[in-house]
Amino acid sequence: MAETSTQSGGRPSLPMAGIPQPTREEVTKLPRVHISSHPVMAHKMTALRDKNTQPPEFYRLVKEIGALLAYEATLSLALEPAPIETPMAPMVGQRLAGGIGVTPILRAGLGLAEAFREVIPDIQVWHLGLRRDEHTLQAMEYYNRLPHKVDLQVAYAIDPMLATGGSAIDAINILKLRNIPRLSYVCIIAAPYGLLKLSQTHPDIDIYVAALDESLNDVGYIVPGLGDAGDRQFGTF
Ligand code: PRP
Ligand code: URA
């Protein structure tokens, strides 16, 4: 984890030290920001955050929380008429109009992508690898399998943690190059600092959050948060 990171010369690297941060109250009413108020979500979040929750259970909870987020984030998707016959009579049903894309930000976004697939099996998964440098907190792209042929009504960038907002902003910048009609961002925990930055940089997207936390610590981790979401999913401590 980044708490032990040092710059060359052995000095501790504290990239967020002294940087002013907005409060929770200052960001809860931002336009197009949706923060879950579902009691089942709150219940599962407590188990997820608990430091005694081990990787197999943690990964299962990420998928359960991801499924709840997928329901919330797909509430306003467009439908089109779908004529069918039931065993009893013809009827005009409805089906989703246009494809749905999900971009997990590797690697911690992989569990959420599984959750979206369970809710909507025929999504397209567009993988994007971004890794933030623990000294500067800048996100760096290292993997990109975004197709050039776009036939989507919406794409969701998904990542458990919105900390400084750098990874989320870069992911949306990259998705915007594909001219997808509608983009959204989905995360499990957001810090007010990153949420404000993402909302101000990309005011045209919807942002779905399971929980809004207090702040970032000096090394850019969310407090109270859950620690390192990638390490806790994949057991790489
Ligand atoms: C974590 C997390 C986000 C990013 C958030 O990933 O999953 O992608 O940090 O931080 P930010 O808002 O300050 O950009 P990390 O870069 O640690 O990679 P990992 O998923 O491989 O662990
Ligand atoms: N990435 C994580 O995994 N956790 C944090 O708290 C911040 C960034």
For residue 201, what is the domain's CATH number? 3.40.50.2020
In this prediction, residues 134-154 reach a mean pLDDT of: 95
Q: What percent of the chain has pLDDT over 90?
A: 93
In this prediction, residues 51-78 reach a mean pLDDT of: 97
- Preceding peptide of 192 cis, ω within 30°: no
Residue 79 is assigned to a structural domain of this protein: no
Residue 61 is assigned to a structural domain of this protein: yes
Q: What percent of the chain has pLDDT over 70?
A: 95
- pLDDT at position 10, please? 61
Residue 8 has pLDDT above 70, yes or no: no
What own/partner pairs with CB < 8 Å and gap ≥ 24 does 16-25 have? 16/137, 16/164, 16/216, 16/217, 16/218, 16/219, 16/220, 17/218, 19/193, 21/191, 21/192, 21/193, 21/215, 21/216, 22/192, 22/193, 22/196, 23/192, 24/192, 24/212, 24/213, 24/214
- The tokens describing 84, both together, are 């069918």
61-70, 148-157, 158-167, 220-229: least confident range: 148-157
Residue 89 is assigned to a structural domain of this protein: no
Structural domain range at position 192: 19-74+95-234
Residue 132 Cβ < 6 Å to ligand 1:
yes
**pLDDT-derived band of residue 41, with 50, 70 and 90 as boundaries?**
very high
In this prediction, residues 215-220 reach a mean pLDDT of: 98
How far is the C-alpha of 180 from the C-alpha of 172, rounded, in Å? 11
Residue 54 is assigned to a structural domain of this protein: yes
- Preceding peptide of 107 cis, ω within 30°: yes
Residue 18 has pLDDT above 70, yes or no: yes
**pLDDT-derived band of residue 55, with 50, 70 and 90 as boundaries?**
very high
Average pLDDT, the chain: 95
Residue 140 is assigned to a structural domain of this protein: yes
Residue 181 is assigned to a structural domain of this protein: yes
Helix (H) or strand (E) segment spanning residue 150: none
Residue 4 has pLDDT above 50, yes or no: no
- pLDDT at position 3, please? 41
Residue 2 has pLDDT above 80, yes or no: no
Residue 9 is assigned to a structural domain of this protein: no
**pLDDT-derived band of residue 88, with 50, 70 and 90 as boundaries?**
very high
The model carries a pTM of: 0.95
Q: How far is the CA of 137 from the centre of ligand 1 (A)?
A: 9
Out of 162, 213, 226, mutate this one to test ligand 2's pocket (max ligand atoms within 8 Å of CB): namely 226
pLDDT in tens, 156-215: 999 999 999 999 999 999 999 999 999 999 999 999 999 999 999 999 999 999 999 999
**Ligand showing the shortest atom-to-Cα distance for residue 234:** 1
How far is the C-alpha of 159 from the C-alpha of 162, rounded, in Å? 7
In this prediction, residues 89-96 reach a mean pLDDT of: 97
Out of 5, 112, 159, 228, mutate this one to test ligand 1's pocket (max ligand atoms within 8 Å of CB): namely 159
**pLDDT-derived band of residue 15, with 50, 70 and 90 as boundaries?**
very high
Is 5 in contact with 134 (CB distance < 8 Å)?
Answer: yes
The number of the ligand 2 atom at minimal distance from the alpha carbon of 225 is 6
Residue 137 is assigned to a structural domain of this protein: yes
Number of domains, the chain: 1
**pLDDT-derived band of residue 1, with 50, 70 and 90 as boundaries?**
very low
- pLDDT at position 13, please? 86
